Every structure is written in C-alpha cells, then in structure tokens.
Copies of this chain bind each other. A is one copy, B any other.
C-alpha cells in the first residue's frame, strides 16, 4: 500500500471517529495502521507482538484487545469469528454506507478478501432462515476458500 493511500484511509478513520465521538489516539491509530499494512488477518497477540516490535514499546495484550474492540465498534476492523483473528476493513476510505461484510478466507495462504454479495442472495438466505422459523440478526459470512494465487 502506498503511503499516500494509507494516509487517506487514516484521515477518513479520523473523520469517522470524530463523527462518532470516539478518540483515535496514537496507540489506536498505530494499531489500525499496522492492521492496514498486513496482508493476512492477525490474532490479538500477533498484533501485540508486531506493535511492540515496531515501536519498541511493551503494550499488554489486554490493551490490544480493548483497542481492537474499539476499532471494531467504529467498523474500522472486523473480527473473523471462525479463526479468532482481526482484519482491517477494506472499505474505510469508501464513501458508501457500510454494508455487511462477507469474507473469503484462503485456506492456504490465509489471505482474506472482503466482498459484498448481491443483496438478492442475502435476501434469499434470510427468507430460508425465516422458513425455518428463525430470524437472521447478522449475515456476516466467513467462507472457506482457495484464492487465485493458491489454486
């Protein structure tokens, strides 16, 4: 990722936080930047190590969990519940309203692609769920795949 692009995203993240009343502190910003620069999802402990190594600090994992929770609340990062890892949102700099993210997770290289599936499919899925007597509350899907490079 080019530095210019990174700065644009971080600027947008700042706007989002200003708007919501959250504070994008330097630590939070540092964690977000690190997430944006990673090609693969990271566990909270991996984030901790990376942050500490790159900054020479010694933040505890506890703090990282809190910061990741904050970033998740602001929808700047997403948590993949199937792998217990975190990824930066791919659409921070996009102006469109936030859609429910769907993740394609490569089983070989662990790379993740965030896509938006056709609304029609999501609707059909919701209908199926309704037929079974349930109500869908979150249609974030995490799909196990093989990416182009690895296949």
Contact = CB atoms under 8 A, between A and B. Distances in A.
Contacts of A125: 117, 121, 143
Contacts of A151: 135
A104 B130 CA distance: 10
Give the oligomeric copy count.
2
A142 to B, nearest CB: 8
26 contacts: A81-B81, A81-B82, A81-B83, A81-B142, A82-B82, A104-B134, A106-B134, A113-B134, A115-B128, A115-B129, A115-B132, A117-B125, A118-B124, A121-B121, A121-B128, A129-B145, A133-B147, A133-B148, A134-B146, A136-B143, A136-B144, A137-B144, A138-B144, A139-B143, A140-B144, A142-B142
